[in-house]
Amino acid sequence: MNGSCICGSVTFEITGAIPALYHCYCTLCQKQGGSASNAATIVYSDRFQWKTGQAKIKKWQKDTGFSSHFCINCGSPVPNVFKSRYVWIPFGLMDRANPVAKANLWLNSKPVWAAPLDLERNYDSAPEDIKEFVQYLNASEP
């Protein structure tokens, strides 16, 4: 499964089954995407490969550790590695993917004008166990 930024300068590939996605309603994701939530997934780093454009990626990071990686040509958010084992992927970058949405995160930060989907898991903030959450997203059964 392939993905790219808006201008196509940054391209990447995920191998294996299509992971489930989640919607994050934290204020950082709202500001990063200009929307109520960010649709994303997390994969194991060994399932992710850059194809082109790594030199076109710029990184901005808060003191808290939150980072935003984006294409310097078009400004599109792009995947980023965290905890050295995982890669966060904004799902809107994926080509022809038809994922299952499984979770809502940071519902306590949801704007009043947003209407989250009714999903299997709902978190008031972030999942406490990131390892378990990544396994959940990457389970082959929907």
Average pLDDT (43-64) is 94
Rounded Cα gap, residues 63 and 112, in angstroms: 28
Q: Residue 41 pLDDT more than 70? A: yes
Residue 140 pLDDT exceeds 80: no
Domain boundaries in the chain? 2-137
CATH of the domain spanning 2-137: 2.170.150.70
Supply the pTM of this predicted model: 0.88
pLDDT value of position 29:
87
Nearest CA to 102 among 51, 141, 70?
A: 141
The pLDDT score that the predictor gives to residue 132 is: 95
Pairing relation of β-strands 67-71 and 80-82? unpaired
Question: Going by C-beta distance under 8 Å and a sequence separation of 6 or more, which residues neighbour residue 133?
Answer: 42, 103, 127
pLDDT of 88-137, one tens digit each? 999 999 998 778 899 999 999 999 999 999 999 999 999 999 999 999 99
Q: How far apart are CA 39 and CA 18, in angstroms?
A: 14
pLDDT in tens, 57-69: 999 988 888 889 9
CA dist 7 and 16 (Å) reads: 25
Identify whether the C-beta of residue 11 lies closer than 8 Å to the C-beta of residue 94: no
